[in-house]
């Protein structure tokens, strides 16, 4: 064993976190107690985002969709924290030995760095495969929604660590003359592959997962966070209300093509954004071309209703990952429906493309707002505010809503949402 071998092993170890079995709070496939209503709905096949007026388009699932409410509570919080803690313990077992790397020759350093980089890229690939497997298992009822959220949060945390490891590898690569981390030595931009890797890792570090991570770190008290988990055989969508923000991320694995050739030339991909999101593209997107390295493009844009970020395939032109953060007060609303019972009047107002719904409860005689507890599919999601209203995320396939007071309640059943 030469002097460089321990260094190589150290570098490989730091990038070789073992495949961790998901830490489940209960048996796999066991649904969360707060999510007793599971709906299956057949959605039409559609590759491009659903077109809606006066706000940004939305990426939708297709095929038979399993959709359910899950309440953020102590059980879910403990499960998420357990998964996070396990990952950090495993990661902390491995550290790079700086002194040994410093003593290696340039040739030895190149070999170490390349081996470590190849292992890192393999780990990046495993993140998406892990999500695909968990999504398909959830769609057929073999995994609970809690299990799936654990996978998403674990990938979020692991992606953050891999991102830090990649930065460290790049810093070490800068110490080796005429060497750079790259998947291709013929590419004009030798930094493009690590840049694409970072953007791929960023796809797993979304605002929704960051919120889950934040919630797992401390009790929420009386603050409610209702989460909607939806899956099909080809993708998942998770949405939640976070204060006045509606946060949703959707992935469509079937919108990726591993074999076709790049369909875009020159600046065509940039202008394709306007076809995908015509309303939001008016704000001017940030754009990254990763078609040479990883066959995708990335774009992000702010708009009047919030922020949109998405990844689209260079071969199909279809969006396969979409992250949206929307301010509910600015979203255009659709038709309203009214239900009356026990002296209460409840009005529900939907937004487009299965977006968040506003629920308002008033006194039937006086018209004054009423503070009530809102239940959605049997899950308590919180109370109405001073104006008598509350926004909720809604599952696919309809939803039942109950507003409860000490003197009575009023119920609503929303179908075909």
pLDDT in tens, the chain (417 residues): 444 444 444 454 444 444 333 323 333 333 333 444 566 667 666 777 888 888 889 999 999 999 998 877 656 666 666 655 555 544 544 444 466 788 899 999 898 888 889 888 998 999 999 999 999 999 999 999 989 998 999 899 899 989 998 998 899 888 899 888 875 455 556 678 899 999 999 999 999 999 888 877 766 566 667 899 999 999 999 999 988 999 999 999 999 998 888 999 999 999 999 999 998 887 789 999 999 888 999 999 999 999 999 999 999 999 999 999 999 999 999 889 999 999 999 999 999 888 999 999 999 999 999 999 999 988 888 899 999 999 999 988 888 999 999 989 999 998 865
- This prediction has a pTM of 0.84
Which residues are 345's β-sheet partners?
340, 362
Using alpha carbons, list the distances in angstroms from residue 218 to 72, 150, 207, 264. Answer: 12, 16, 17, 46
pLDDT at residue 20, rounded to an integer: 33
Query: Which residue from 50, 29, 19 is spatially nearest to 126, judged by alpha carbons?
Result: 19
Using alpha carbons, list the distances in angstroms from residue 214 to 74, 80, 201, 248, 328. Answer: 14, 10, 19, 16, 21
- Interaxial angle between packed helices 207-217 and 74-92, expressed in degrees from 0 to 180 and rounded to the nearest 10: 100
Using alpha carbons, list the distances in angstroms from residue 309 to 206, 247, 320. Answer: 10, 12, 11
d(C-alpha 281, C-alpha 359), whole Å: 31
pLDDT at residue 50, rounded to an integer: 85
Cβ-count burial of 244 within 10 angstroms (0-12 exposed, 13-18 middle, 19+ buried)? exposed
d(C-alpha 281, C-alpha 277), whole Å: 6
Check the CA dihedral 125-309-353-274 and report its sign.
negative
Query: Which residue from 184, 179, 170, 14 is spatially nearest to 105, judged by alpha carbons?
Result: 179
d(C-alpha 250, C-alpha 237), whole Å: 4
Taking a C-beta distance cutoff of 8 angstroms, is the pair 263, 315 a contact? yes
State residue 120 phi and psi, 5-degree precision.
-65, -45
d(C-alpha 147, C-alpha 64), whole Å: 20
pLDDT at residue 106, rounded to an integer: 92
d(C-alpha 195, C-alpha 187), whole Å: 13
Write the secondary structure of the chain as one string of H (helix), E (strand) and C (coil).
CCCCHHHHHHHHHHCCCCCCCCCCCCCCCCCCCCCCCEEEEEECCCCCCECCCCCCCECCCCEEEEEEEEECCHHHHHHHHHHHHHHHHHHHCCCCCHHHHHHCCHHHHHHHHHHHHHHHHHHHHHHHHHHHHHHHHHHCCCCCHHHHHHHHHHHHHHHHHHHHHHHHHHHHHCCCCCCCCCCCCCCCCCCHHHHHHHHHHHCCCCHHHHHHHHHHHCCCCCCCCEEEEEEECCEEEEEEEECCEEEEEEEEHHHCCCCCCCCCCCCHHHHHHHHHCCCHHHHCCEEEEEHHHHCEEEEEEEECCEEEEEEEECCCCCEEEEEEEEEHHHCCEEEEEEEEECCEEEEEEEECCCCCEEEEEEECCCCCECCCEEEECCEEEEECCCCCEEEECCCCCCEEEEEEECCEEEEEEECCC
């Amino acid at each position: 064993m030469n002097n460089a071998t321990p260094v190589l092993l150290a570098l490989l170890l730091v990038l070789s976190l073992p495949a961790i079995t998901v830490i489940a709070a209960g048996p796999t496939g066991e649904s969360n107690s707060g999510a007793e209503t599971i709906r299956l709905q057949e959605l039409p096949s559609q590759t491009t985002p659903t077109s809606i007026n006066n706000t940004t388009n939305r990426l939708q699932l297709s095929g038979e969709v399993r959709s359910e409410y899950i309440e953020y509570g102590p059980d879910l919080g403990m499960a998420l924290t357990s998964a996070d803690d396990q990952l950090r313990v495993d990661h902390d077992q491995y550290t790079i030995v700086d002194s040994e790397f410093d003593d290696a020759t340039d040739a030895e350093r190149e070999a170490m760095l390349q081996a470590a980089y190849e292992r890192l890229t393999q780990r990046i690939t495993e993140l998406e495969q892990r999500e695909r497997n968990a999504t398909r298992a959830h769609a057929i009822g073999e995994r609970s929604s809690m299990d799936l959220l654990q996978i998403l949060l674990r990938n979020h945390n692991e992606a953050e660590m891999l991102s830090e490891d990649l930065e460290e590898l790049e810093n070490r690569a800068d110490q080796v003359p005429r060497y750079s981390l790259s998947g291709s030595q013929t590419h004009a931009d030798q930094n493009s592959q690590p840049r694409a890797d970072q953007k791929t890792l960023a796809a797993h570090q979304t605002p929704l997962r960051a919120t889950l991570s934040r919630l797992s770190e401390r009790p929420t008290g009386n603050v409610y966070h209702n989460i909607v988990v939806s899956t099909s055989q080809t993708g998942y969508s998770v949405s939640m209300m976070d204060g006045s923000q509606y946060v949703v991320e959707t992935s469509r694995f079937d919108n990726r093509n591993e074999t076709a050739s790049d369909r875009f030339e020159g600046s065509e991909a940039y202008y394709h954004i306007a076809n995908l999101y015509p309303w939001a593209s008016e704000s001017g997107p940030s754009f990254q071309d990763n078609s040479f390295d990883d066959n995708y493009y990335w774009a992000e844009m702010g708009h009047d209703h919030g922020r949109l970020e998405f990844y689209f395939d260079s071969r199909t032109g279809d969006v396969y990952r979409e992250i949206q953060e929307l301010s509910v007060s600015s979203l255009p609303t659709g038709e309203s429906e009214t239900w009356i019972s026990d002296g209460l009047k409840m009005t529900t107002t939907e937004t487009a493309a299965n977006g968040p719904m506003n629920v308002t409860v008033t006194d039937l005689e006086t018209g004054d707002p009423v503070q009530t507890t809102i239940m959605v599919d049997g899950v308590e999601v919180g109370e109405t505010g001073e104006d008598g209203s509350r926004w909720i995320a809604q599952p696919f396939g309809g939803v039942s809503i109950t507003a409860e007071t000490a003197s009575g309640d009023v119920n609503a059943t929303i179908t075909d949402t």
